[in-house]
Structures are given as structure tokens and as C-alpha cells.
Amino acid sequence: MEPKSIAFHHFGCKVNFAEASALSRQFKDKGFQLKDFREMADVYVISTCVVTAVAEKKCRAAIRQAHHLNPEAKIAVIGCFPELMPDGLEKMEGVSLVLGHSAKFALCEEVERLFNHSGHEHPVFPASNEFVSSWSLGDRTRSFVKIQDGCDYYCSYCTIPLARGHSRSDTIGNVIRNVEEAVRAGVKEIVLTGVNIGDFGRNTEETFLDLLRELEKVSEIPRIRVSSIEPDLLNDAVIDFIASSKKLMPHFHIPLQSGSARILKLMKRKYDRELFASRIRKICDLLPLACIATDVIVGFPGESEDDFRETYDFIEGLELSYVHVFSYSRRANTIAAGMAEPVQDKIKKQRSGLLHQLSENKKKIFYLKNKGLTAHVLFESDNSNGFMHGFTENYIKVKTKFDPRLVNQITTVNLDVLGEELCYEVLGIGY
Ligand code: SF4
């Protein structure tokens, strides 16, 4: 068989990214040529996300784009979209394979089967709650290592448990093996990724803290980041360990979702405002320069002006570095989908605008706190109009003139000049 070409397009969370990246390596090992999604290819794989209506629209557009690029190509649609809304997908022009989360790990065999047999078949795979480990290998600077999958929390707005099933985890031994492999491939920074990573070990009797302790001992890996972690699971012992670690970066992403006590209850979140605030205070006490980011949803059903004001004031009063703001999007089969009092789009937009502005102000304050300090930046490989970017330990984006010697090097910089993109120019470089 002639070597075939394949192009991947990934949407959504870092778990999706780690899985799609691992799948693309399988195709490479089988002799497929990996192409950019904007190029002509024999196979297009769209790793989907339908967390919001906008995400769903983007996935449909990508399917049409692939068919337009090569009407003869086989198109595989994998992940959340097939899992949650399979109806009609296989009828979209060019679509040859529709594989939900458990089925997508057989993608390589299914694509080979398509080329060996004529016709468009749509295999059915039983849903599975197995854990399949994956790690990404992008520009080799950092790797997203999947340590956990699924979620047992059932927040009232969220479709993820429906798409990805129950919480389950990798074993510590296997995570370490994946990390060591990534390090051998040249990776300098590991990002621990999952759907609800603080829940690590639920099915293995290991804990997230056990995992951090073991990872700290892997001498070859210089940097580890913890991705988004639920406030109730980011307990004092985990914060203490991160604060004392030489490898775990002072960077936290802790989803708040609402600062209104009433809305938090309706969302079925597992913490209250006081617990969230206490986590932020503890981090600030131990790591005053830590980056602390959060997610907030505006326009949840029934969110009144007073509820929103409570959220705004709560965030304003906390030492957060920035806020990711999402507008509530009604998703079928969730508890919130049946709730009364939807918030009008124009009000969601106003509230989102106010929180975006608050986030910008917080980011400025956070960046200014770091002015004049020495930091260590891991530079990435992209050359964007003669400039390159990297991130400090506490996730400040640093920009400097492109220098190939800096790619994937941890470099000492002085954070002295505030650049136009709200990042600092590098003044001093220590190789
Ligand atoms: S914790 Fe809540 S929001 Fe996060 S994945 Fe689980 S159900 Fe969804």
C-alpha cells in the first residue's frame, strides 16, 4: 500500500490533546505521513469537543473544511461529539468513521480497515470505563501527560461525566514510565492532565499527593505543572508539598465557577466560598508570587444581578492572577438544562465583559509584582515574526527575539521591561 497521509485537528481540553497526540504517533509509527490540517491529506481526524454550542459549531466547520480540502478523503470524527450527539454525524459528507471516547483508541486499526475494504461501515464499540494512558509530544518543550479520566462529580451544567464516564486513573508506576519516555524525547516540562486530576487514584488506592511525591524523585525532569484542580481536592497537604518542591511550578488553576453561594449550590459544586478563599490565602502565604488562575461561568440559569455582583466582588477581593470567563451554554441531558430563568444573551455578554476587564486588571497587578525579578523561562520553538515566547515558573509569558539556541532551554531572564503584549522583554540571558 502507498504511504498515506493523515491530518489531525484537535478541539477542547488538554486530555483530548494528549490523546490525539498519542494517536497521531501511532499513525506515524505505521508509516503514515503527518500533515497540517490545512493541507490535502488522505485521512482527516477531528478530535471533538461539545462543551459549549460554539465548540460544537467549530467541530462541524472542521468536518466541512476537511471534506472541502479533499472530497475523496476519509474523515474520522472522534471523542465527545460522537459520544454525546452521534445522530446524523455519519451522514455528514465525507465522514467515514464516528468513534466515541472508548472506541477512538482503535482508530489506527479502523482507518487501516477502511483502506482494506471498500464502503463506509460504522462499527459499534461498547462504552468502556477502562483507563487508556496518553501523553502529548508537540514541539518537545512540554508534554501533557494524562493521569486521570472521567468524573464522578456531576456538576449540574457539565456534560463531561456523560461523555467520559466514571473517574479512573493511571497507576503511579505507569505515569512515571510515560514521563520518563517524554523526557527521553527531549521534553523539559510535564503538565499533569485529566478531567478531575485531584481525584487521582480513586480506583487504585493511590493518591494525587503520592503521585507528586514520586514524580519529585524523577531526577531528569526539571519542571512539572499541575493543570486545573478542583478546590475541594487541592488540600493543605498538596499545597504544602507544591510549595516545598523544587520541580512543581508555583502555578495553580482552581475553578471557581461562581462566587454566589446560591448559584454554587445550584451548580452542585462541592465547596463553598469560604473554602475557596481559604485555598487562595494559603497559597499566597506560602508562595506570594504564585500564578493563581480561575474559571468562572456567567449567566447560569437564575443568576440574578445580585448573584453576579456577589461573584464580581468575591473575585475582586481575592489575590487571583487572572480569570477565564465562560458564558453558560445549555447542554442537553444536564440538570441545568431543565432549570427555569435562563439569562438573556445580552446580559451574559455584559457580565462577561465586566469580568474580562477585572481579569485584565488582576493580570496587570500580578505582572507588576514580578517586575525587576529574576526568573527562569522555558522558551518554545515557534518563530512568530522574528520573536519567540516562553513561560516563567509562575506562568508569565516572556517574549524575546527569536534565537534558535534558546529553543527548549531553561534560560535566566530579568523581568524588567513591560512589553506591549503585557509580557516582559528578556534583558539578561544565562545559558
Ligand atoms: S468537576 Fe464538575 S465541571 Fe469538572 S468535569 Fe466534573 S462534573 Fe464537569
Distance 154 CA to ligand 1 centre (A): 6
R_g of the chain computed on alpha carbons? 22
Nearest to 191 by CA among 206, 179, 205: 179
Residue ranges lining ligand 1, Cβ < 6 Å: 151, 153-155, 158, 160-161, 195-196, 230
Phi, psi of 143 (to 5 degrees): -130, 135
The answer to whether residues 384 and 350 belong to one domain is: no
Distance 195 CA to ligand 1 centre (A): 7
The answer to whether residues 276 and 377 belong to one domain is: no
Distance 223 CA to ligand 1 centre (A): 27
Domain end point (choices 352, 369, 386): 369
Q: What pLDDT does 359 receive?
A: 97
Q: Is residue 137 part of a domain?
A: no
To test the pocket of ligand 1, the residue of 14, 16, 52, 151 to mutate (highest count of ligand atoms within 8 Å of its CB) is: 151
268 Cα nearest atom in ligand 1: 2
- Per the CB < 8 A criterion, the answer to whether 241 and 248 are in contact is yes
In the three-class reduction of DSSP (H, G, I as helix; E, B as strand; rest coil), residue 403 is classed as coil
Alpha carbon separation from 399 to 48, 362, 375, 425 (Å, rounded): 31, 20, 13, 5
The answer to whether residues 397 and 326 belong to one domain is: no
The answer to whether residues 360 and 379 belong to one domain is: no
Q: Is residue 61 part of a domain?
A: yes
The answer to whether residues 387 and 344 belong to one domain is: no
Q: What pLDDT does 87 receive?
A: 83
Q: What pLDDT does 130 receive?
A: 87
Q: Is residue 347 part of a domain?
A: yes
The answer to whether residues 296 and 337 belong to one domain is: yes
Domain end point (choices 369, 391, 406): 369
DSSP, res 342: P
From first to last of its 431 residues, what are the pLDDT tens digits of the chain? Answer: 567 999 999 999 999 999 999 999 999 999 999 999 999 999 999 999 988 889 999 999 999 999 999 999 999 999 999 999 888 888 899 999 999 998 999 999 999 998 887 555 555 555 567 899 999 997 779 999 999 999 999 999 999 999 999 999 999 999 999 999 999 999 999 999 999 999 999 889 999 999 999 999 998 899 999 999 999 999 999 999 999 999 999 999 999 999 999 999 999 999 999 999 999 999 999 999 999 999 999 999 999 999 999 999 999 999 999 999 999 999 999 999 999 999 999 999 999 999 999 999 999 999 889 988 989 999 999 999 999 999 999 999 888 889 999 999 999 988 875 544 545 555 444 33
Q: Is residue 129 part of a domain?
A: no
To test the pocket of ligand 1, the residue of 51, 149, 195, 329 to mutate (highest count of ligand atoms within 8 Å of its CB) is: 195
To test the pocket of ligand 1, the residue of 80, 156, 158 to mutate (highest count of ligand atoms within 8 Å of its CB) is: 158
CATH of the domain at 50: 3.40.50.12160
154 Cα nearest atom in ligand 1: 7
Strand order in the sheet with 142-146: 142-146, 189-193, 223-226
195 Cα nearest atom in ligand 1: 5
Number of domains in the chain: 3
The answer to whether residues 284 and 147 belong to one domain is: yes
The answer to whether residues 377 and 365 belong to one domain is: no
Q: Is residue 132 part of a domain?
A: no
C-alpha cell of 58?
Answer: 467549530
CATH of the domain at 320: 3.80.30.20
The answer to whether residues 390 and 404 belong to one domain is: yes
- Cβ-based neighbour number of residue 402 at 10 Å: 17
Domain end point (choices 369, 393, 412): 369
List Cβ neighbours of 250 (8 Å cut-off, separation of 6 or more). 242, 243, 287, 289, 290, 291, 393, 394
Going by alpha carbons, the residue nearest to atom 2 of ligand 1 is 155
Going by alpha carbons, the residue nearest to atom 8 of ligand 1 is 158
230 Cα nearest atom in ligand 1: 1
C-alpha cell of 292?
Answer: 493563581
User: pTM, whole model, 2 decimals?
Assistant: 0.92
152 Cα nearest atom in ligand 1: 6
The answer to whether residues 191 and 334 belong to one domain is: yes
The answer to whether residues 187 and 268 belong to one domain is: yes
Distance 255 CA to ligand 1 centre (A): 10
The answer to whether residues 332 and 405 belong to one domain is: no
- Give the 3-state secondary structure of 130-158: CCCCCECCCCCCEEEEECEECCCCCCCCC
For 34-91, how does the pLDDT look when each residue is reduced to its tens digit (9 = 90+)? 999 999 999 999 999 988 889 999 999 999 999 999 999 999 999 999 999 888 888 8
SS3 content of the chain, % helix, strand, coil (to 5): 35, 20, 40
DSSP, res 384: B
Going by alpha carbons, the residue nearest to atom 4 of ligand 1 is 196
Distance CA 393, CA 401 (A): 20
Q: Is residue 126 part of a domain?
A: no
Torsion of CA 121, 124, 130, 133, to 10 degrees: 20
Q: Is residue 130 part of a domain?
A: no
C-alpha cell of 118?
Answer: 471498500
**Domain limits at 194?**
142-369
Nearest to 190 by CA among 48, 378, 347, 25: 378
Distance CA 52, CA 405 (A): 41
Q: Is residue 122 part of a domain?
A: no
